[in-house]
Amino acid sequence: MSQSSPINHAWLLASRPDGEPVKENFRLVEQPLPQIKEGEILLRTHYLSLDPYMRGRMDDSKSYAPPAELDQPMVGGTVSQVAESRHPDFKAGDWVLAASGWQSYAVSNGEGITPLGHLPHPSWALGILGMPGFTAWMGLMDIGQPQAGETLVVAAATGPVGATVGQLGKLKGCHVVGVAGGEEKCRYAIEKLGFSACIDHHRDDFAEQLAAACPDGIDIYFENVGGKVFDAVLPLLNTAARVPVCGLVSGYSSRELPPGPDRTPQLMGTILKRRLRVQGFIIFQDYGDRYPEFLEAMTPLVEQEKVLYREHVIEGLENAPQAFFDMLKGKNFGKTVVKVA
């Protein structure tokens, strides 16, 4: 902690959104830094991760994690550095993975804080080597179970989950088809990430284009967006296809269900007739104990550039809300992180 800036800047959750989140849902405050007590550490935030799941935390509804609390710093994963320590396991200067939330400093008793050692890119612990990369790995490998020659479709194809899923699928010998918003992202998915095809979901003929890119149907659909992409995918799913479900970002801000008819029986009928496996998962709840296994497998792939990773870095904590809104709308290009310190 620098003695010249003894102030914590924090974005509090000011109100819960009704539909799409807006600036008024957040409030920026300045707070004096507390003195840490014996057994505590003061963490300075270097990078804040912005992820789609945060939209769900803003609601007051039952989910896999408790909602973010009103008038408290908005929740979020961070890469932080120990500024001051009265904890035996940490010393000033240590890099750690934390959950400090949307603020420049946080006090911790060390619980849930993971030492990072000396990473060449500390922020990658929020992406390819952290939650999104782990999500991609386990969802694809454990639920998707890719076999060479199978067709794998993934949306948000240049995002940290989608890009990783697709590249891992390529390494497994799959025919990988991405879905992304805009020609630039699609070009990147094909030219840089090596996808066989990538379809722009803004196109009017999106469903036809997707079908044309999957002449043998779809064996794995890695679901992270829902909505019209899922609608286009469903008729193309092959017998015994697998659908790992890690997110449904297109519907996170929906206020009500779409108009009828109710297609639930159609979905259940497809699950039965095509013997689909549709399985939701929340990465650390379902697979927390397999994180070391993931890290051991993924780290060399990243180091050898067999799996590429792209970040979308926003400078300054003050820009976090707008960056969050943009990410929810797909305006980011790569993993969104806010450079705080």
Q: Are 340 and 45 in contact (CB under 8 A)?
A: yes
Residue among 149 and 235 whose Cβ is closer to a second copy: 235
Assess 267 for contact with a second copy (CB under 8 A).
yes
Q: Which is nearer to a second copy, 122 or 247 (CB)?
A: 247
From the list 68-76, 100-108, 161-169, 282-290, the region that binds a second copy by CB under 8 A is: 282-290
Query: Quick one: which segment of 72-80, 104-112, 257-265, 297-305 binds a second copy (CB under 8 A)?
Result: 257-265
Torsion of CA 322, 122, 79, 105, to 10 degrees: -90
* Min CB(107)–a second copy separation in Å: 31
* C-beta of 83 vs 243, nearer to a second copy: 243
Contact map string, positions 36 to 65, toward a second copy, x by CB under 8 A = --------------------x-----xxx-
CB of 73 to a second copy, least distance (A): 23
State which of residues 127, 160, 247, 334 lies at the interface with a second copy (CB under 8 A): 247
66 touches a second copy (CB under 8 A): no
By the rule CB under 8 A, 228 interacts with a second copy? no
Contact flag: residue 223 with a second copy (CB under 8 A)? yes
Output 111 or 256, the one with its CB closest to a second copy. 256
**Which is closer to a second copy, CB of 284 or CB of 333?**
284
Q: Does 192 bind a second copy (CB under 8 A)?
A: no
- Does residue 290 touch a second copy according to CB under 8 A? no
- Is 271 or 341 the residue whose CB approaches a second copy more closely? 271
Q: Is 255 in the site for a second copy (CB under 8 A)?
A: no
Interface with a second copy (CB under 8 A), residue total 44
What number of other Cβ atoms are within 10 A of residue 115's Cβ?
Answer: 11
Of 33 and 165, which CB lies nearer to a second copy in the complex structure? 165
d(CA 71, CA 43): 20
Give yes or no for residue 278 binding a second copy (CB under 8 A). yes
**262 lines the binding site for a second copy (CB under 8 A):** yes
Tokens 């969050």 label which residue?
324
Query: 3-state SS string over the chain?
Result: CCCCCCEEEEEEECCCCCCCCCHHHEEEEEEECCCCCCCCEEEEEEEEECCCHHHHHCCCCCCCCCCCCCCCECCCCEEEEEEEECCCCCCCCCEEEECCCCECEEEECCCCCEECCCCCCHHHHHCCCCHHHHHHHHHHHHHHCCCCCCEEEECCCCCHHHHHHHHHHHHCCCEEEEEECCHHHHHHHHHCCCCCEEEECCCCCHHHHHHHHCCCCEEEEEECCCHHHHHHHHHHEEEEEEEEECCCHHHCCCCCCCCCCCCHHHHHHHHHHCCCEEEECCHHHHHHHHHHHHHHHHHHHHHCCCCCCCEEEEECHHHHHHHHHHHHCCCCCCEEEEECC
Whichever of 53 and 105 has its CB closer to a second copy, that residue is 53
Taking CB under 8 A as the criterion, the residue among 27, 110, 227, 341 binding a second copy is 227
* Token pair listed for 219: 């064996």
Q: Which is nearer to a second copy, 228 or 310 (CB)?
A: 228
Query: Site for a second copy (CB under 8 A): which residue of 72, 147, 254, 319?
Result: 254
CA distance 337 to 48: 6
Query: Footprint of a second copy on this chain (CB under 8 A)?
Result: 56, 62-64, 223, 226-227, 230, 239-240, 245-248, 251, 254, 256-269, 271-282, 285-286
